Chain A
Amino acid sequence: MEIETREFKHSHLVKVKGRLDSATSPEFAKALNELTNHGHYKIVVDFKELEFITSAGLRVLINTQKTCKRYNRGEVVLSSVPSNIYASLDLAGFTVLFKIFSDELTAVGNF
């Protein structure tokens, strides 16, 4: 798995590539905690090059969403979600908890 974080004027973009499972989710959590610990609660997570996600990765997403939405200070949105990944989000009942955008620029523009 590879993670790349970019800063925009009103949000941060986190691009995740490869495989997000029990082995790699701690690193994903670390990248997101790095943002929220510094008071950045408006986050776009781009899944364009994500190949695989398990419940371990989904747990990180939901925990970060809880942190970001507290006090209405921000939220995590998703972009470029491949169909297999979308199916897992749907199976977990997550599609109502995250806004999903077709591409990263639209998602960044949402903030």
Chain B
Amino acid sequence: MKENNKAFLLISEKDKNFLKNCLKELGYQPQFCEKEIYFLEKLYASPPNLIILDLDCNSSFFETIKIIKSSPIFLEVPLIVLCSLEKLENINWEDINLDDFLVRPFKKIEFIKRLDLAKIRASRILDANPLTKLPGNTTIISKIQQLIARNQDFALGYVDLNHFKAYNDRYGFVRGDEVIKLLARIITNVISNIPGETFVGHIGGDDFVFIVPPEEAEKVAKQIIEYFDQIIPSFYDQEDRKKGIIISKDRKGNLQKFPLMTLAIAIVRNWGNYRLKHYGQAIKVITELKKWAKKDRSKSTYVMERRSSPE
């Protein structure tokens, strides 16, 4: 049995023993909870490797599922729902982000096999960036092409980190990874507050991509920059932070002074009478804009094309 291999269940007395036995067979330490409110508390304090919610005992936990799955801690944790056949009919999978469901009355072998599969599936995250768990190139490309094909209005943003290499060279790649995770968090949280069709992708290294409704793009870029600029000084050592520079080798091997990291954001919008025809075209425009955004790398800058406009 894996140490600390916990499974948390929000469930009533029904089937409790059955579940306890199945979970123990799979090597989990089951911990039961009857009230939703204690459940959340425990989850944050001591994240389990499996979560099971009983729809029959509590139908108001769609909000709970949203809260749980909005945190990176639980992205890879399988969330299984138990319910009766009648309740099953009314569930809309689009609205809730869970991994699998099981219908009463349970059959032991099926139950065990399902949970096992859920565990394996959860760790097999296709195409996700291993550092940030955000979708990678394949998904990004297909998403953009989907929106273009649907002729939908959207803004595509490209976020790039300035002086990241110098930071890595000075502090090592482990701390460099921390900065990437920080940036991913900031972008994800800013975008999660935007209504409408949104998306965040991680191309790799220090390059990110986001999609938002076109009228939100400028606000999003400003906010990402505002939050990043505020928080990034904490990721430097005291002396470097005070001086506002780090000393590191440039590409030629010479010692150079580098300012604190800043962001370059380029945005193209599929809007009004300016229509993108293909993913490749979008990237071409963004690449051009990026050059402008990187003109002054001592400041975080965003650049938007000005050809599109609302009709």
Whether chain B is bound by chain A comes out as no
Spell out A's residues near B (CB within 8 Å): none
Spell out B's residues near A (CB within 8 Å): none
